[in-house]
Amino acid sequence: MIANQKLAQAISSLGFYEFRRMLIYKAIFFGTKVELVDRWFASSKTCSCCGNVQPMPLLKRIYKCGNCGVSIDCDLNAAIDLENAPKNPCTCKKRGIYAWGLLDPTPKG
């Protein structure tokens, strides 16, 4: 799951819901936000340059896009996709939990 065995053991024994709850608590404490992305978002199968979705076996470590021809490390590609995912409104209904506990940061009034 994670390269750091102590962290992996702590998360697996704690459960992901409790880990998420603690992460949101820390975000509120430090004044940051937690971005939520749909669990089925295909970050490792989507090209970070053109958005093309293609099958990607887990054994392949280099992502080669069949549409635009970009060649990038698959972990870096997935990280870029996850970074850009909250900007895309169709990826998840909840855009983020902000530090003040609201789902929408725009002031009402």
Query: At residue 51, what is the residue type?
Result: G
Q: How high is the pLDDT of residue 90?
A: 46
How high is the pLDDT of residue 88?
Answer: 57
Q: Record the pTM.
A: 0.59
pLDDT reading at 89 higher than 60: no
**What is the mean predicted confidence (pLDDT) over 48-68?**
90
Instruction: Answer whether residue 34 shows pLDDT above 90.
Output: no
Burial class (CB in 10 A: 0-12, 13-18, 19+), 66: exposed
pLDDT at 31: 87
